[in-house]
Amino acid sequence: MEGVRYASFTSFATTKSSSFSALSPSSIIILRQKPHKKALKSISHRNLVISASSASNSVVTLLDYGAGNVRSVRNAIRYLGFEIEDVRTPKDILNAERLIFPGVGAFASAMDVLTKTGMAEALCTYIKNDRPFLGICLGLQLLFESSEENGPVNGLGLIPSVVGRFNSSNGFRVPHIGWNALQVAKDSEILDDIGDHHVYFVHSYRAMPSDDNKEWVSSTCNYGDDFIASIRRGNAHAVQFHPEKSGDVGLSVLRRFLNPKSQGTKKPTQGKASKLAKRVIACLDVRTNDKGDLVVTKGDQYDVREHTKENEVRNLGKPVELAGQYYKDGADEVLRHTSENVFVPLTVGGGIRDFTDANGRHYSSLEVASEYFRSGADKISIGSDAVYAGEEYIKTKVKTGNSSLEQISRVYGNQAVVVSIDPRRVYLKSPNDVQFKTISVTKPGPSGEEYAWYQCTVNGGREGRPIGAYELAKAVEELGAGEILLNCIDCDGQGKGFDIDLIKLISDAVSIPVIASSGAGAVEHFSEVFVKTNASAALAAGIFHRKEVPIQSVKGHLLEEGIEVRI
């Protein structure tokens, strides 16, 4: 989804027509809606699906081991005019004309499935025989000797090196999420159209280049240190980034692998990528109105109803159409129906908790999240459930492993889990008035108060909880969150700028990326939050929906201010 608005939690879209979020260059679109009893009619239990290929040049074999979002890869392949056959047996791998392995999730879980099904041995044989292969993200990492993720865990052992975690002690936030630049080391064929463009990464672990693997390395990326961004040996290719989420540039990578002789009909525009870009995120708040229609709305301090006699839900348009428009405008992440032709990350939130359907069938939060991932989400956002988990962890100091946050992070990796925090500012006369972290405010309170703390809320901001935003952020990072969506009820819909005090407090307290949300009303608000805080991304909704401030105007302003964004 890169991704989803992670704010006043009214659950993200959970229906087929609007379940994910989209973004482009530096923006993420997030779709949410109020919990709906029919949102999850059923969750299918899929067996291992991997695909058998045919001799036809238009057919691609896809190795989908059953975890995470591969819908986007499927959409991209079909968009480029190719058919897909899924591997079901190891023999299907060996018979493939072209094989794509979009690995997602955790290293250990993937290796366990590949080994038990006999796919690991077949995959090694296929690659050693110099057959056309493209691994994506985890599909690259699994080629190495082992990984430190929940390990050590043995990999396929084709490439010398151990996959290790990024070092966050040098100030770089982990996971590495967003649009970064490549340094192409040798002729790679599939990277020929990338040039100075950003591509999309989302991962916590990486392999490092060395003398032992230098013959494999085709490009590197810098994030604290240079890590391996892609490999190539003969017909075997693999990339750490997500081409299916990297817009036109990413499509060119897939096109060159699927049809090496093709130059493509749409050349990416000239880029200026040099490092990790700041993200500009467009959020879609999706709700069901009183007529039962899904609409994009926008709250004013979380109030989404018009102040009229009818008191209707504020309607700013249809979610799929707006998401598609934001992709064209340069947003960095989007959602489901839109994901068929929108090649940027998707995040979905709302209803990520244990669920019982009308027939009494119970689904765990992990099952709910799994269905979202299978339907096209790249990340999921957890709100109220994460608050309760954080409270319990602070109270007991015990990681039970039972919370939705812990379960999903363990199976899919922390880079797939966003926690949405919805705090409200509470002014104080003295920092000693509460047990929570307080700040000296930039602007005094209504009675001249010089201090404040930020109280977390649940249920769309309607219920305050005995935990501060600072304490919750620290707790959910420990429990496995990979990113924080930081909202502010006081600033929501006001258009007077982000709450810099709050964002600085939280972004300085954690080592995971923080998305600033609530309050943007002008292009200058985006540069301010990036200059004055350590936010990795900034999100807005209403100003983009109403076209008061175009996304490209925000990006143009940031470039003028010397802040790198994806263009």
| DSSP 8-state assignment for residue 278 | P
Q: Which of 149, 193, 244, 329 is catalytic?
A: 244
Q: Is 422 a catalytic residue?
A: yes
Look up residue 350 and give its amino acid: G
Q: Is the dihedral of CA 29, 32, 38, 41 positive or negative?
A: positive
Look up residue 177 and give its amino acid: I
Closest CA to 485 of 276, 242, 177, 223: 177
| DSSP 8-state assignment for residue 24 | B
Contact 558, 530 (CB under 8 A): yes
Q: Distance (Å, rounded) from C-alpha 158 to C-alpha 502?
A: 47
Q: Which of 2, 64, 85, 137 is catalytic?
A: 137
Q: Distance (Å, rounded) from C-alpha 118 to C-alpha 125?
A: 11
Q: Which of 285, 378, 483, 564 is catalytic?
A: 285
Closest CA to 19 of 328, 416, 345, 346: 346
Tokens of residue 457, six digits: 């809320």
Q: Distance (Å, rounded) from C-alpha 436 to C-alpha 99?
A: 53
Closest CA to 163 of 214, 252, 116, 227: 227
Q: Is 124 a catalytic residue?
A: no
Is 491 annotated for ligand binding? Answer: no
Percentage helix, strand, coil, to 5, in the chain? Answer: 25, 25, 50
Q: Is 525 a catalytic residue?
A: no
Q: Distance (Å, rounded) from C-alpha 201 to C-alpha 355?
A: 31
Measured in residues, the chain has a length of 567
Is 221 annotated for ligand binding? Answer: no
Q: Which of 2, 193, 406, 422 is catalytic?
A: 422
Q: Distance (Å, rounded) from C-alpha 31 to C-alpha 306?
A: 20
Q: Is 242 a catalytic residue?
A: yes
DSSP 82-136: -EEEE--SHHHHHT-SSEEEEE-S-HHHHHHHHHHTTHHHHHHHHHHTT--EEEE
Look up residue 336 and give its amino acid: R
Is 390 annotated for ligand binding? Answer: no
Q: Which of 242, 337, 545, 557 is catalytic?
A: 242
Q: Is 285 a catalytic residue?
A: yes
Q: Is the peptide bond before 175 cis (omega within 30 degrees of 0)?
A: yes
| DSSP 8-state assignment for residue 216 | T
Residue reference for tokens 């929570």: 436
| DSSP 8-state assignment for residue 536 | S
Look up residue 140 and give its amino acid: L
DSSP 470-526: HHHHHHHHHHT--EEEE--TTTTTT-S---HHHHHHHHHH-SS-EEE-S---SHHHH
DSSP 399-412: --S-SHHHHHHHHH
Question: Which residue numbers belong to the known binding site?
Answer: 137, 351, 487
Positions marked active-site: 137, 242, 244, 285, 422
Annotated binding site for L-glutamine: 137
Binding residues for substrate: 351, 487
